[in-house]
Amino acid sequence: MAPEGNPDDEDSRRRTNLMLLVVAVAVVVAGIWLVNAMVETRKLQECMEAGRTNCRPISPERQTW
């Protein structure tokens, strides 16, 4: 028979696990963002090394008439 834990211990463990999950998700999101930024930088660098101009992608700007 397993000993019953203190409810405060269970709440503390649950909070700790939730915080670890939030941190893990934040690390994964930051990693994905970093990899995408590195890929874009590599593409820009390869374009410039090839001697091309206009390597930056054109971002849609708000047009005012």
pLDDT tens profile 10-25:
889 999 999 999 999 9
Tell me the mean pLDDT in the region 40-57. 86
40 vs 56, more confident? 40
Instruction: Check: pTM over 0.75? Answer yes or no.
Output: no
Q: What φ, ψ does residue 53 adopt, rounded to 5°?
A: -110, 170
